[in-house]
Structure formats: C-alpha cells, structure tokens
Amino acid sequence: MLPYYTDPPPKLIETLNFISKRRSQKNGAITTIVKTGMTYLDTAPSASVKQKLVVCLRDITDGKIYVEGERATLTMMLAMLLEKQGKINEAADVVQEVSQAIHGATHAAMHAAMHAAMHAV
C-alpha cells in the first residue's frame, strides 16, 4: 500500500516517482503504480492536491505506450481542473497534447484519447 498524506502529499508523490524510476522496472509494475495512484484521486482533499497528483502520474506515464489510456484519462482530468480554475489557455494546451499523441497510440489508447479530446470540445 502506498502512503497517503493530506495536503500536500509529498511522500505519496515521492514514493510514486521513486518506484516508477527504478531501473528495469517491469511494464506491469508501472501500470499498477499508475492505476493505484489514480485511485487516490477520488479522495484528494483539495483541487491543488489532486492537480499535483495528476501531474505526477502524467509524468510517470509520459512516453510509455502501455499506459497511454491512463495518460489520456489523466490529461482529461488535468484539463478539467485547469478549466475550473479559469486557466482556459493552459487547459487547451493540455488537450492539444492528447490530439498530437493520438498518432502513435494503440487502438484502446486512441479511443480513450479521442473520448477525452471530444469531451473537452
């Protein structure tokens, strides 16, 4: 079980980053780390904590094709959080990253990314 602390969650983010950056980490382990980290998003005590965790998980999923679906979901969450804060231009930039990443995605990831892009419009 990963440690979970309230605002701010430095230990949780530090643990996620440490585990994900270990050399020769298996794809399944990274997938589990991301999915487990995503379960903490529902119980985040504030929007800023949720945003920090989403950014951390997006960093972990960056460039890993086997968690592209999760990355699309996290990107949609980040765009929605930024939109609620009134940062429309930043939210648009985040969504545009998804549309650029669609070209190299697998079918399932492409479907999730397209859903996220369509929801943002």
pLDDT tens digits, 6-51:
444 677 777 777 777 777 778 888 888 888 888 888 888 788 888 8
pLDDT digits (tens, 9 = 90+) for 83-119: 998 998 988 888 887 665 555 555 566 666 666 666 6
CA 53 to CA 59: how far, in whole Å? 10
What pTM was computed for the model? 0.71
Could you count the other beta carbons within 10 Å of the beta carbon of residue 38? 16
Q: Is 97 exposed, middle or buried, given 0-12, 13-18 or 19+ CB atoms closer than 10 A?
A: middle
Q: Are 73 and 57 in contact (CB under 8 A)?
A: no
